A and B are shown apart, each in its own frame.
Chain A
Amino acid sequence: MSASPALLLAFLAVMLGLASSAVSLFADRQPRVLRLMAMPLVGLSGLAALTAGLLVLIQGGSFALTLPLGLPWLPWHLRLDALSGVFLAVIGLVTMAVGLYGPAYLRGFEQGRDSLVALGGFTGLFLVGMLLVVLADDAFLFMVAWELMSLASYFLVAFQHEQPANRRAAFLYLLMAHIGGLAILLGFGVLAAFGGGFDFDAMRAATLSPGWASVAFALAFLGFGMKAGLVPMHAWLPEAHPVAPSHISALMSGVMLKVAVYGFIRVVLDLNGEVQWFWGLVLLAVGSVSALMGVLFALMQTDLKRLLAYSSVENLGIIFIALGLALLFQAKDHVMLAALALVAALYHVINHALFKGLLFLGAGAILHSAHERDLEQMGGLLRRMPWTGYFFLIGCLSISALPPFNGFVSEWLTFQAALQAWQLDSGVLRSLIPIASAVLALTGALVAATFVKVYGVAFLGQARSRHVRRARAVPFGMRLGQGFLAVLCVLLGVLPTQVVHLIEPVSAQLLGTGIPQASANGWLWLTPISSDTASYSAPLSVFALTLIAGVAIWWFKRRTARRAKRCDPWDCGFAAPTPRMQYTATAFAQPVRRVFGLLFEIEEARTTGEDGLQRYRLRIADRLWGWLYTPVARGVESAARRVVRLQSGNVRVYLGWTLATLLVLLWIISGA
């Protein structure tokens, strides 16, 4: 067995994840084992995965390996190619940050009653599941790894199971993960039936009729879209992500959703047959709705982690808009543009993993030090925990797609791809793509509003409660984990040309062409189509920004020896301002809530209590619950009530049903 170093490293990453899981078994006797051994092993596993991914991206090629595990006639096939390389690197980056952050964060759980064995054990298994999904080269291993990932994360969501809300969230998650898993399984079934085998090579070689290819696409989209939290299949996401411990939330939002994107790309662009143009349209529509609804709901939230979870829905929407563009251009034979859109989607995949991981770790730091998730109680945290504050600011700037940070680059690339819509020959498509880009523009502006709200309310102003006033800086390890991701956010924003060059092999692998012109003008210039069409130089913008700001500050420092004096804020000549007079998160979002009111189910009430005090109550709900989820749940229940008549308690009746089923199955098999 001769294996490449990249594949060996990936294998090592899996083994380290398993080892982390194994050592956690001793955590109930020796709680320290979790932070001294399990978390460092997780971090090392991340490092190995990152190195493996980078190696395969730089060296190129693809490495396959068959392990004598699994079913007797279907051993486990592993493969590491450019596509898995990118996602392996994404998993590795966030996992490394979690490995740095985890030990200090877990200290807070050591005195708790919750089982540390479960926490450490399932974290390792969760990681192993994600790594194996990305490495799998046959449907069987893929599904095993997928279920391992789903189940392990279910137990992590249900970790603090004493609160009924967490149990409900976990159950909803389990339910929807399995409906999605079923759809993926059926999708693989379609592909395997045509390919005559469960390994991906056979599926790739098969030729599907457009109809069956579309069926496989629909099933894959349903299954992976459910895991990715696209609207209207998003309901589990804002429930499940916030209730897990924060470093797990970072992994779930930052990485697990990306694994769903990986699965989708693998099935649709690699395994499935000829791409149909209307697939792209479906993706554009669903992506646009997800992006817009996601950000609007995020803006309405006051629970920080819930807000971040809704923002993940929005970001996955953006990724799927870019993927939709890629499919559209691919189906219409504009391969270069498809490659551009695919690179934009992958760039956003990496970016979202970085900044969402960073923001969740920041939310965890606040939770750790102020024991607060509610924005309405926060305030003034920048002065109490400055490092977390500045890292969080970088995360907010990145996610709001502001230059020169990383979120801007992927959004810019997506816009550039969308603006090439004039090359399409169909008038309908030409006019639908601009609408999607309008939605993307609206989303971008609303994201900025959301994160101004988050940062302004949580980190600026004055503390709104006593425990937040007592917050103080978090331990070094937690700062290190956040700092790692923050530095990467800046680097990926300032050096986009290198990153595009790094992820280009994926589009070369899947679509047959990269975008060589993007980096044709040297590392300073990013020119995705040609330097006349569009060019952006992040390094020079940063240089100009810092140069002018530096000169201005130096000039003022030199000229005025006096420091700025401190004084009281302006109080309009009335009483001095108190923290309660500040704008709250709800108040901040009120104008937008009024503008987009029709999209929400809003209950607003003002009552006067017995003590004569006015009370204001506001509940904002998702209309989709009433429109989609409750009717489906009722339908399932009433169907179950009908089926329950079969359960008579009489063994002879059961045997009769079994016989009838067998006969029907035999008839089907003999017919085929």
Chain B
Amino acid sequence: MLSAWLIALLQALLCAALAPLLVGWVRKVKARLQNRRGAPVLQPYSDLRKLLYKETRVAHTASPLFRIAPYIVFVATWLAAATVPLIALDLPTAQIADIIVLVGLLALARFFLALAGMDVGTAFGGMGASREMMVSALAEPALLLAVFTLAMTAHSTSLASVMQHHLTDGFLLRPSYLFAFGALILVALAECGRIPVDNPATHLELTMIHEAMILEYTGRHLALMEWASQLKLLLYGVLVVNAFFPWGVAQDFGPLALGLGLVSVALKLGVLAVVLAVGETVLAKMRLFRVPAFLNLALLLGLLGLLSHVILEVGT
């Protein structure tokens, strides 16, 4: 039991440690695809370090909520990421929070992110908050529907049980999984602020969503906000690869199994990052009011997944 808690702690720390690496890798691949040399893969670590040591400034008009928000956003996102089985199943963290709690924790982080955006009282912050809430109002139900499909199949809302079920089930191609997978990909793009919904590299005022909310942040506050968004990318990445392709994840706590789990998840994430980079290179960002159509598609896919599960797959 104690070793399980220790491994859970280790996995949580690993999440936080690996998140910048994933972002660095995506940027590197993207740069090479665009015929640039790009920054080193480890650049996000240097950026975080730099921000953590830089002076922190806060606007005159900011309330105390502005200063506490980065901590809440970071901690909630981290806790959410820590509940996703990264290298091993059957960890006690999966008992603390199931998939619905995970979605709730992400919503908590988003709530404070949006409030922080509105706190200083500039137009950009409000704009970013308003757009973020619109996007999430459609993305969150789509995400829930996608995970409900998995949960109903496994008869459990615990992510570890879902993966366990999938592993014992063998590679059975279920139509509901295809729909849920599509929905989850679209939601992940929207929630992580990737192209075609938002551009993580932009600072053009009229198009940005996520960047608009954290425009006023500096120093360690900004570092925490950036780290949280990197964690969120990692979380969605792990959710996509481990919930749908759980092979390789450690089912016992032997060093070999854990090592294999780590290598397999790193490989899977590496491939996913390449796919993401290719997608971001060939696609253009959508206009803001095309985004609802994009997310309605995700919602529809999620609902179709759930319906095809209850109609086609239950009781047969």
Partner among A425, A434, A569, A587 whose Cβ is within 8 Å of the Cβ of B307: A434
> B216 on the interface (CB 8 Å rule)?
yes
Given A452-B133, A595-B138, decide whether A565 and B122 contact each other with a Cβ distance below 8 A.
Answer: no
* Chain-A contact segment, one of B93-101, B245-253, B270-278: B93-101
Across chains A and B, the number of contacting residue pairs, with CB separation under 8 Å, is 261
> A533 on the interface (CB 8 Å rule)?
yes
A17: shortest Cβ distance to chain B, in Å? 38
> B302 on the interface (CB 8 Å rule)?
yes
Is A566's CB under 8 angstroms from B137's CB?
no
> B201 on the interface (CB 8 Å rule)?
no
Is B220's CB under 8 angstroms from A587's CB?
no
CB-CB < 8 A to A445: which residues of B?
Answer: 107, 136-141
Is B67's CB under 8 angstroms from A564's CB?
yes
Given A403-B108, A569-B60, decide whether A441 and B144 contact each other with a Cβ distance below 8 A.
Answer: yes
Partner among A534, A544, A552, A569 whose Cβ is within 8 Å of the Cβ of B120: A569
11 pairs of residues in contact across A and B, judged by CB atoms under 8 Å: A415-B157, A430-B311, A431-B307, A442-B137, A442-B141, A448-B110, A455-B115, A460-B118, A548-B78, A569-B60, A570-B124
A456: nearest chain-B partner, CB-CB: B118
**Interface residue count on the B side (C-beta < 8 Å):** 83
Which A557-582 residues sit within 8 Å CB-CB of chain B? 560, 562, 564-572, 577, 579, 581-582
Complex CA distance for A180 and B53, rounded to whole angstroms: 65
* Interface residues of B, Cβ cutoff 8 Å to A: 55-61, 63-65, 67, 71-72, 74-76, 78-79, 95-98, 100-101, 104-105, 107-108, 110-111, 114-115, 117-127, 129-131, 133-134, 136-141, 144-145, 148, 151-152, 155-158, 161, 205, 215-216, 219-221, 224, 288-289, 292, 299, 302-303, 306-307, 310-311, 314-315
Is A544's CB under 8 angstroms from B158's CB?
no
Given A441-B144, A552-B71, A582-B122, decide whether A434 and B306 contact each other with a Cβ distance below 8 A.
Answer: yes
CB-CB < 8 A to B107: which residues of A?
Answer: 400-402, 444-445, 448
CB-CB < 8 A to B156: which residues of A?
Answer: 532-534
Complex CA distance for A24 and B18, rounded to whole angstroms: 67
Is B302's CB under 8 angstroms from A438's CB?
yes
> A435 on the interface (CB 8 Å rule)?
yes
CB-CB < 8 A to A553: which residues of B?
Answer: 71
> A143 on the interface (CB 8 Å rule)?
no
> A329 on the interface (CB 8 Å rule)?
no
B78: nearest chain-A partner, CB-CB: A548
Complex CA distance for A4 and B271, rounded to whole angstroms: 70
> A64 on the interface (CB 8 Å rule)?
no
> A592 on the interface (CB 8 Å rule)?
yes
Is B215's CB under 8 angstroms from A570's CB?
yes
> A408 on the interface (CB 8 Å rule)?
yes
Complex CA distance for A208 and B192, rounded to whole angstroms: 56
Q: Which 5 A-B pairs have the closest CB atoms?
A: A583-B126, A456-B118, A461-B121, A441-B141, A591-B134
Is B141's CB under 8 angstroms from A591's CB?
no
Is B141's CB under 8 angstroms from A590's CB?
no
Complex CA distance for A583 and B123, rounded to whole angstroms: 6
A449: nearest chain-B partner, CB-CB: B133
Partner among A379, A457, A541 whose Cβ is within 8 Å of the Cβ of B79: A541
A237: shortest Cβ distance to chain B, in Å? 23
Is A562's CB under 8 angstroms from B55's CB?
yes
CB-CB < 8 A to A403: which residues of B?
Answer: 97, 101, 104-105, 108
